Structure 1
Amino acid sequence: MTQLSIQANDLSVRFKERLLFHIPHLVLGPKDAIYLTGDNGVGKTTLLKVLSGLQKPSTGDINLSHNSWIRRLFCAQSNSGVIYMHQTPYMFDGSVLDNVCYGLKFSLRDRRKRRTEAINALRMVGLETLADEHISVLSGGERQRVAMARAWVLNPSVLLMDESSASLDQESIERMVVLCKDLLARGTSLVITSHQKNALTELCRRQWTITDSQLIERATLQLVDGDNDTYAYA
């Protein structure tokens, strides 16, 4: 995986006469973990789609440094290692294993190695026993865990997680945390949206908030009380 940073300038999205947001400057660096917050309808999902290349902004440009490869994945464009995980992830008509292996077939020619890596990813999210089941038998939360597994095996430079924990129980969230920690250790940057703080958002040390059509950056999050998971802003 090649680490990269994302920089955006004069970024705005407008729907007819309504300005959703305008961001003069935005930087996402390697190994960043950012908690993106804001009320419903302020543009959190739209911003993630713009950063992933799924949606074009009304104004502005996005620069990716250290581009090394381009991949398109799961009806979500992955520009130079940027993967967008939707709250309701797209699944192909096939087995659970097929869905995890899909992206790997572009990077690994060895079918046996692809299967081994995909099974390992499913084991990490607790779904290895369902590997050969059709994807239709899975619940919404289980599908989200499959989406996390297939993102993890691709080792993205940037992972944008749009309400990925919304339908998950605590155990499932903890499994996703393990994968996210591993990705961070390998250089992946994370942007996570969630309406509620949880173990995933606790990985973040920066916070972006969209309010009044602006993106406000909170100061660095610092853990003050490890027992109570209390944070202060520096």
Structure 2
Amino acid sequence: MIEFDSVSFAFDDVTVLEDVSLTIDDGEFVLLVGANGSGKTTLIRHCNALLTPDSGEVLVDGVSAVENPVAARTSVGMVFQHPRDQFVDAFVGADVAFGPENLGLPREEIDRRVEAALEAVNLAGYEDERIDALSGGEQARVAIAGSLAMEPSHLVLDEPFTGLDEPARQSVLSRLASLSDGGTGILVATHDLRDVVALADRLVAMEGGRVVAKGTPEAVVDELEELHVRVPDEASKSRVRSE
């Protein structure tokens, strides 16, 4: 469980988050939506202490992210908006292995995690491929695999569909659905709800650094046009996953 308790944060005296309280339950698929500048990215970077609140508290599985950032970063896998920003090696296998290696795990366990993570994103056998030779969708899936290799309880993604063509977008959506069905908690920050809204258990809307709406997609989606969030057509609003 990820808990934001009255979190406020400012950059250079400009308030970016104001008194945000929100809980993301284990195994839940949540969309965090809002226009650019609404505070989405700033909020999710508090999940694993990349940023720390000026006031309030962030708890990951009951432990303060500020007091124990290693535990938070182990429990919360983060995938940035531009996957290339988080790659640390030129080759797929070495990049995915980086996190488990830093945990000091035995080589056999590292290899097991790399194999399982790449299989989970449908990139089995890509260990020796150069990342810069992959498509945008494949690079996004390598970034997800790098987080999965840490075996996190939660996977947090910031605008994961930016710059992807439609086949790549559908590929990433399919992987997220499979991971969610397997019990991984998913938090996706996005301003574009096409297709992904059908996967979500809950939708949380932000504006001006505050949470302004939250609930099931059916309950919240009609409030979003005035928040400059791209609202899908009626056909896309229907749920595709059973409750």
- CA separation in 2, counterparts of 1:108 and 1:120? 15
Partner of 2:127: 131
**Secondary structure of residue in 2 paired with 1:11:** strand
Q: Which shows bigger deviation, 170-179 or 43-52?
A: 170-179
**C-alpha separation between the residues in 2 aligned to 1:195 and 1:219?**
17
Counterpart of 2:4, as a letter, is A
Given that residues 39 and 207 in structure 2 are in contact (C-alpha distance below 8 angstroms), is that contact kept between their aligned partners in structure 1?
no
Per-residue deviation at 1:202?
Answer: 2.5
- Asked whether 1:50 is paired with 2:46, we answer yes
Residue of 55, 60, 71 corresponding to 2:56: 60
The verdict on how the C-alpha distance between 1:31 and 1:49 changes in structure 2, with shifts beyond 3 A counting, is same
Q: Is the 8 A contact 2:198 2:238 kept in 1?
A: no
In the other structure, the counterpart of 1:103 is 99
Give the 4+ runs in structure 1 shifted more than 4 A: none
Indicate which of 15, 22, 29 corresponds to 1:19.
15
1:228 is aligned to 2:232: no
Aligned CA distance change for structure 1 residues 157 and 125 (closer, same or farther; 3 Å): closer
Contact 2:203/2:217 (8 A) holds in 1 = yes
TM-score under structure 2 length normalisation: 0.75
Distance 1:178 1:154 in 2: 21
RMSD (CA atoms) = 2.9
Contact kept, 8 Å, 1:9 with 1:62, in 2: the verdict is: yes
Post-superposition shift, 1:222?
4.3
Aligned to 1:207: 203
Instruction: Write the mapping of 1:155-174 to structure 2, written as runs, cut at 5 A.
Output: 155-174=151-170
Work out whether residues 33 and 204 of structure 2, in 8 Å CA contact, stay in contact via their aligned partners in 1: yes
Q: How far apart, CA to CA, are the structure 2 residues paired with 1:66 and 1:42?
A: 27
2:137 paired residue among 128, 138, 141: 141
Question: Which of 160-169 and 213-222 deviates more?
Answer: 213-222
Q: How big is the shift at 1:78?
A: 4.5
By how many angstroms is 1:176 displaced? 2.7
**Matched pairs, number:** 218
Which blocks of at least 5 consecutive residues in structure 2 are unaligned?
220-233
* Counterparts of 1:23 and 1:141, CA distance in 2: 36
- Check if 1:81 corresponds to 2:75: yes
Query: Which structure has greater helix proportion?
Result: 2
Question: Do the aligned partners of 2:136 and 2:168 also contact (CA within 8 Å) in 1?
Answer: no
**Alpha carbons of 1:217 and 1:52: their partners in 2 closer, same or farther (altered >3 Å)?**
farther
Counterpart of 1:31 in 2: which secondary structure? coil
Does the CA-based 8 Å contact 1:206-1:219 persist in structure 2?
yes
**Runs (5+) with no aligned partner, structure 1:** none
How far apart in 1 are the matches of 2:41 and 2:119?
A: 29
Q: How far apart are residue 163 of structure 1 and its match?
A: 0.8
Task: Say if 1:127 and 1:189 are closer, same or farther in 2 by CA, change over 3 A.
Answer: closer
Identity of counterpart residues, as a percentage? 25
Q: Structure 1 residues 114, 18: closer, same or farther in 2, change over 3 A? A: closer
Query: Deviation at 1:167?
Result: 2.5
Equivalent position of 2:226 in the other structure: none
